[in-house]
Structure 1
Amino acid sequence: MTEIGVFPKPDRKRPEPLWHQAEQALRSLIADGTWTDGTQIPNEELLSRMLGVSRITTRHALRNLEESGLLRREHGRGTFVRSSTMIAGVRGLTSFTQEMANLGLVVGSRVLELGEVSAIPEVADALEIPIGTPTVRLRRVRLGNKAPIGIQTVYMPLARVPGFVELAEPAASLYDTLRDRFGITPREAREVFRVGAIGTAEADLLEIAAGSPVFMVERITSDAIGPFEYTVSTMRGDRYEIRSKLHL
C-alpha cells in the first residue's frame, strides 16, 4: 500500500466544504505523482485520521474521485489509483481536449496522418456531401497523462476548412482551431458506440494485445450549416468508460 504524502489538510475556517477540501488534497497526491497509477491508497479510516475529518467526509471525497475516473474500488481488496481513464456519459458538446481537462488529465496527441482524401461512400453519407468530394483526414493517437487512450480519425469537407492541412499545429484542440480559424462552432453531435476487438496494427499503437476489447465510436458533428466533422474512434476498453444516470 502506498504511503500518504504531504498535502494541505482541510481547514474548517475556510468557506469550502470539508469534503471538497479533502477531495482536492487527495487529487493533488495523484496529480503530483505521489500516488502513481495502479497503487493502493490507505483505507477510509486511516485517510480520515490523516485528513482530520470524518469518515463520511472522506467517503464523499473518494466517491467523487472514483466518479472522475481517478480511483477504482475493488471489492475485498481496497481502492486503487487507476490508469488514465476517460469517462463518457451525459455531457455537453465538447472536444476530446476539453473532456480530458475536465477529468484532470493532461491531454496529448500524436499525429499519424494529415492530408487530403476523396470522400468514400461512408464518409460522404456522414458529411452529406457527394462521393469523391475532397476532404481533410486527420488521424491521431490521443493521450491522457502520456498514456494512449484511443485512436481518432477525423474527416472534414475541405471546402469548410481550406488550408487546414498546412496548419503548423494540427495536434492542438480541433474545436478551438475550427472556431478560431474557420468560424465553425459545434451545435449538435450524434454518437454511436459499439464494442469490438482490436486488430494488430492499432493494438500496437494503443500498447495493448491484439484482440483486446475496445469501444468503437462514430461521431457526426454539425454547426448551423450542417455536418462538418465525421470522427471514427477506437478507444481502449480499460481506459474508456461510459456512465449514465437513469431517472423515472
Structure 2
Amino acid sequence: MTAASFQQPDRRRPEPLWFQVEEAIRAIIKSGEWSTGDQIPAEDRLCALFGVSRITLRHALRNLEDHGLLRREHGRGTFVRSTTLVAGTRELTSFTQEMRNIGVSVGSRILDCSLTKADAATAAALQIEEGDPVVRIRRLRLGNDEPIGIQTAQLSGARVPGFLDSGLLQGSLYEALERLYGIVPLEAQESYRVGTVPEADAELLDLAAGTPAFIVERITTDERGPFEYTVSTMRGDRYEIRSTLRAGRVPSNPRS
C-alpha cells in the first residue's frame, strides 16, 4: 500500500480532522484495499500518512471500532473486522438504518410473506387476542452480500390492512409502515439469549445446524401501542452486543 492510498485532511474544510480521517479510512475499507482480517498500519505510521496527531487519529479509530468496522486486539494491533452489526445503547432504528450507519451495504431476501393467526406468544406481545390476524414477514438479512441473520416480523393485521399487496415489502419495514399507515416507532423492548441455528435455517445462514447464535426478540410500539413482534436468529460472528455500564452513584469528592 502506498501513501497515495491515503487522503490527508483538508484543514480549510469545516469538518473536524478526526472526522475526515475516519471517512478516509472508511473509504479504504469499502474499496477493499483493506480486507476483512487485515491488520491496519501502526498508529505512528497512520499519523505520518494522514499528517495528523495521535489524539486525532485515535478519535477516528475509536469511532470506527464503535461502529464495528475495526477491532483492537491488545498486544497485537488493530484489524478490519467482518461485517458486524453492533447492538447496544443506540437509537430506535430499523435493521436497514443500522447497517447504513456502520457503512455496510444492506440487503434482504424475503423468505415468506403471509397472513396468519397469532399464537399465544405473538398475541401477548402485540396485545391482541390469540387467533387474531397477523402479517408474518420472514427475511434473510444481508450485509455486504453476506448473511447476518433471519428475522421473522409479525404485525398486527388490524393495524396494517392490505400491506401484503402494497408492493413495499422490500427495503426498510419501518419506512414502509410510516409511508402507508403513519406508524412511527417510539419505543422497543429487546431481549437477547444464546440459542442455536435450527436445521431449517442453517443453509441460509451458511452455518452448520446447531451453531451458537443470538436469538433476539423485539416488541416495538408507537403512540397506539405494540404493532410489531420480531424474533431474529443472528450469526454470533457477525452480530455483537456492546453496552456501556455506569456506576449507580456518584462518588463524593473529599475536597469539596
So what's the TM-score if we normalise by structure 2? 0.91
What does 1:166-245 correspond to in 2, within 5 Å?
166-245=165-244
The 2-side partners of 1:240 and 1:5 are apart by 33
Deviates more, 1:133-142 or 1:47-56: 47-56
Paired residue for 2:13?
Answer: 14
Paired residue for 1:58?
Answer: 57
The 2-side partners of 1:206 and 1:23 are apart by 31
Q: Does residue 1:135 correspond to 2:138, yes or no?
A: no
Distance 1:135 1:56, change over 3 A: same
The 2-side partners of 1:157 and 1:4 are apart by 55
- Does the 8 Å CA contact 2:112/2:139 hold for their aligned counterparts? yes
Distance 1:75 1:211, change over 3 A: farther
Distance 1:169 1:7, change over 3 A: farther
Paired residue for 1:77?
Answer: 76
Paired residue for 1:106?
Answer: 105
Residue 201 of structure 1 aligns to a residue in which SS? helix
The 1-side partners of 2:70 and 2:3 are apart by 15
The 2-side partners of 1:201 and 1:243 are apart by 29
What does 1:82-97 correspond to in 2, within 5 Å?
82-97=81-96
Paired residue for 1:157?
Answer: 156
Deviates more, 1:202-211 or 1:44-53: 202-211
Residue 190 of structure 2 aligns to a residue in which SS? strand
Q: What's the offset of the Cα at 1:231? A: 0.3
Residue 186 of structure 1 aligns to a residue in which SS? coil
Q: What's the offset of the Cα at 1:3? A: 6.3
- Does the 8 Å CA contact 2:6/2:49 hold for their aligned counterparts? no
Letter in 2 for 1:232: V
- Does the 8 Å CA contact 1:191/1:217 hold for their aligned counterparts? yes
Letter in 2 for 1:194: R
Residue 28 of structure 1 aligns to a residue in which SS? helix
Q: Deviations over 1:32-53 (max 9, x none)?
A: 2222222221111211111112
Q: Deviations over 1:167-195 (max 9, x none)?
A: 32312210111010112111211111111
Q: What's the offset of the Cα at 1:242? A: 1.3
What does 1:27-66 correspond to in 2, within 5 Å?
27-66=26-65
- Does the 8 Å CA contact 1:4/1:42 hold for their aligned counterparts? no
Q: How many residues align?
A: 247
Paired residue for 2:250?
Answer: none
Paired residue for 2:24?
Answer: 25
Residue 66 of structure 1 aligns to a residue in which SS? helix
Residue 5 of structure 2 aligns to a residue in which SS? coil
- Does the 8 Å CA contact 2:192/2:215 hold for their aligned counterparts? yes
Q: What's the offset of the Cα at 1:222? A: 1.3
- Does the 8 Å CA contact 1:113/1:137 hold for their aligned counterparts? yes
Letter in 2 for 1:71: L
Q: Which runs of 5+ in 2 are unaligned?
A: 248-256
Q: Which runs of 5+ in 1 are unaligned?
A: none
The 2-side partners of 1:83 and 1:48 are apart by 24
Residue 76 of structure 1 aligns to a residue in which SS? coil
The 2-side partners of 1:15 and 1:176 are apart by 32
Distance 1:5 1:79, change over 3 A: farther
The 2-side partners of 1:78 and 1:171 are apart by 39
